[in-house]
Structure formats: C-alpha cells, structure tokens
Amino acid sequence: MKRRGFIRNSLLSAAALAVGRTNSAEAASGVLQIPEWTKRLGSGVGTEAYGKPSIFERNVIRRFLPLIQPTREASISFCPLQDLHGTITPNGLFFERHHAGTPKIDPDVHLLVIHGMVDKPLKFTANDLMRFPSISRIHFVECAGNGALEQHGASHNALQFTHGMLSCAQWTGVPLRLLLEEAGVRNGAKWLLSEGADAVALARSFPLDKAMDDAMIAYAQNGEQLRPEQGYPLRLILPGWEGVANVKWLRRLEVGDRPWQTREETSTYTDLLPSGKARQFTFIQEAKSVITSPCPERPMPGKGYFSIEGLAWSGEGKIKRVDVSFDGGRNWQQARIKGPVLDKALTRFQIDWQWNGQQALLQSRVTDETRYVQPSYKQLRKVRGTDSVYHNNAIQTWLVHPSGEVENVQIG
C-alpha cells in the first residue's frame, strides 16, 4: 500500500509525467475515436505459420561491432537487453558468439559420441536422446568476455554492448549424468573434453564433478529445437559457467583423467594477473547485476516517478538481494526482487524512484545465496589488476544527466 500511495502522489504532483491522467471528456473522446485499424479486417491466421515481431519493433535486433570484430565468422552479436522484459530471452535475440561461424547441421546425420575412460562407448542422434527422460531448466548463458572492453574504461555508451553477451532460456535435454552412468565411467576419470562440430572443432575441458551435478545435453531452447546459432541440434549446458564452456554443435565427449589444455583454455579464456601468471579454468560467472531501465538507450522520460528495473544473475546459484545506489555507491537501498527466483537464472529487480531532475549516479549491487557480493571496479582491479579481460562482473554506473540522458561512466 505504501508503494501504491507513492505512485499515486507522484502521478498527481508531477506535471511533466505523461502517464495516465485525463478527464472524462478526453477519455470519452478517446473511446469514441475509432482508429483506422478497427475499420477494416486485419490479416488472417496462418499469414505467418511461424510468426515474427511487429514491424514497429524492427529496431529490436542483435547487433555487432564491425571495427572490433573484423570477420563475421569469429564474432559476437549482442542481445538488445535495453528492449527486453522479464527473464526469458526470445530465441531470435539470444546473443551469438562463434569462433568459425554457424554450421548447417543435418540432425539425422549428426552424432554425439561418448568415449574415452568409459566401459561402453555410446553414440546418439538428437532423436535418440529424446527417448530419455528430459529435464527443463531456465538458465542464463553469459560469455566470459561480456564487458571485456569495459575493463579499460567506459567503452560503449550502450547497454547492448556493455552487457549484451548475456541471455537466458528454458533449456530442455538429458542430464549428462544419466548418459555417463549408461556409459560407465572408469575409476580414475576426473575430466571430460567437449568438442563441437564447427569448423574450429571448439573444445573445452571440464571436471567430472560438474558433469555429474547439473550438466545437461540440451536439444531444445524455449520450447523448440535449439536455434542453429545456439548449437543445433545438440549443445552442452553447464549451468552458471562461462558461455564458451557450453559447447555448441556438440559432437563428442571424451572422458579422461586430466584437462586437455586446449586453445580455448590456455591462450584464451584465462585471466592474466598482475603477477604475470594467469588464472585458468575459472568457469563460474560470478554474481553480477545491471540496471536496464534507465540506460543509455532508454533515457529518463522526465521528472517524477520512475520504476527502475534491472537484471541480476549468479553462476553460484540463486539471487539473495539487490541494492541500488542513486549517488554512485555512497548510500544503498534494497531493491524488490521479482520471483520466481530460480537457480542460475536471470532475475529481475525493481525499485521506485522519484526523480527530481538532478544529476544522479545509478548503480546496482547483487548478493547471491553464497553471500558473495558483486565487486566495484576498484575491488575487482585490486585482485585481478588491469590486464585481465574475462569475467568482468564489476558494478556498472549510469550517470543520469538533468536532460534525462544516461551515460556509461566508471567510478570507484
């Protein structure tokens, strides 16, 4: 009731607020004016056997950065987080990161082979896997390089580019544990190699413990088969772990006793520390959050009441709390977390703001169920230095100008 009263007051008091108020005559006239589209039949069903968004939403698309990524095949497309709502990312807007482009795979030919330190090697098509009991889980996937350029300063004045290597879907597939139990893992096995069927045969090592915990061989995403750019027909899902470890177009899993030291876990996807040594196998995407409204692409529409919204996520589990600062981290207020709060899934938060039209420094800071607290840039750099480009989970600052414009800045 307190919140409701707050909104009502702001509606009544803020002349600049374009929301809602009218008088009976205006409302009646709004009701009586029959719009053009009500005067004629619309388009029939089946016009789109597979539907598309409204043409008025044509700017809600994935985008890439041509200057930074000279080839399209080893590139990134960023998810338009500034235009999304809720916690599910539509498949058509799920961010892409490819090392050699998206292969066009015939699912009746594609095989997943499980071999190495197992009693019985196994092979499956996607259709074979659909005979097994399936699980469906909502999990985010975030590239380890999300925010990489931000580590050296506020590089992009756009949420889509600062945080857009992040998406979330309901994944359906078979628990990897079930398949490994079928194959019979031999004593001494401790690691697996996952390899994709793309032109770089992207390969990563991961521990057997994760495979036996919550790893999944996914064939579906948000209800339908995986999209080609998300690994059709099969991908590995390692919930909460860096995107590259969720190998797409999965063609084999080899069981072994030590990591393989592939390219993607030695020359890349490691964190170079001030000592000159690099952290390796830093799989987990630690707790992170960002305010999505307002943001550079979604400026403040005017003074008065505004509902600040944002996303929080943690590779360690569930979100416990989110705090928001309006003054660059000096003072914090607890935000409202919107349920259901799911394990290793995007979670929405909200906090009311009565904007007086003055400059503000907006920040959000998440705490996950392990009590890990999202760090500031200062705290992150103290531990990791300035050469590391992966696993940037620092607090984001949006500078709100009196004009309502929102600017990406780095403080603290």
**Residue 381 identity (one-letter amino acid):** R
**Binding segment (CB under 8 A) for its own copies, from list 78-86, 321-329, 381-389, 398-406:** 78-86
When asked if residue 109 is in the footprint of its own copies (CB under 8 A), the reply is: yes
Residue 383 CB, shortest distance to its own copies, in Å, is 32
Separation between Cα atoms, residue 298 and residue 406, nearest integer Å: 8
Residue 54 CB, shortest distance to its own copies, in Å, is 5
When asked if residue 15 is in the footprint of its own copies (CB under 8 A), the reply is: no
Q: Cβ atoms within 10 A of the Cβ of 346, count?
A: 23
Binding to its own copies (CB under 8 A) within 363-402 occurs at none
3-state secondary structure of 305: strand
**Binding segment (CB under 8 A) for its own copies, from list 72-80, 145-153, 311-319, 402-410:** 72-80
User: Would you say 3 or 330 has its CB closer to its own copies?
Assistant: 3
Q: Which of 13, 16, 68, 123 binds its own copies (CB under 8 A)?
A: 123
How many Cα atoms occupy the beta-carbon half-sphere of 393 within 13 Å? 25
User: Would you say 26 or 327 has its CB closer to its own copies?
Assistant: 26
Residues 6 or more apart whose CB falls under 8 angstroms from that of 282 comprise: 144, 242, 270, 271, 390, 391
**Binding segment (CB under 8 A) for its own copies, from list 227-235, 237-245, 271-279, 319-327:** 227-235
User: Would you say 76 or 380 has its CB closer to its own copies?
Assistant: 76
When asked if residue 223 is in the footprint of its own copies (CB under 8 A), the reply is: yes
Separation between Cα atoms, residue 308 and residue 292, nearest integer Å: 8
Separation between Cα atoms, residue 286 and residue 283, nearest integer Å: 9
Dihedral sign (CA 89, 365, 300, 8): positive
Residue 217 CB, shortest distance to its own copies, in Å, is 12
Beta strands 135-142 and 122-124: pairing type? unpaired
When asked if residue 170 is in the footprint of its own copies (CB under 8 A), the reply is: yes
When asked if residue 2 is in the footprint of its own copies (CB under 8 A), the reply is: no
Residue 380 CB, shortest distance to its own copies, in Å, is 28
When asked if residue 77 is in the footprint of its own copies (CB under 8 A), the reply is: yes
When asked if residue 260 is in the footprint of its own copies (CB under 8 A), the reply is: no
When asked if residue 355 is in the footprint of its own copies (CB under 8 A), the reply is: no
CB burial string 54-89: b at 16+ within 10 A, e below: eeeeeeeebbebeeeeeeeeebbbbbbbbbbeebeb
Q: Which of 2, 15, 31, 187 binds its own copies (CB under 8 A)?
A: 31
When asked if residue 144 is in the footprint of its own copies (CB under 8 A), the reply is: no
Report residue 199 CA to chain centroid gap.
Answer: 25
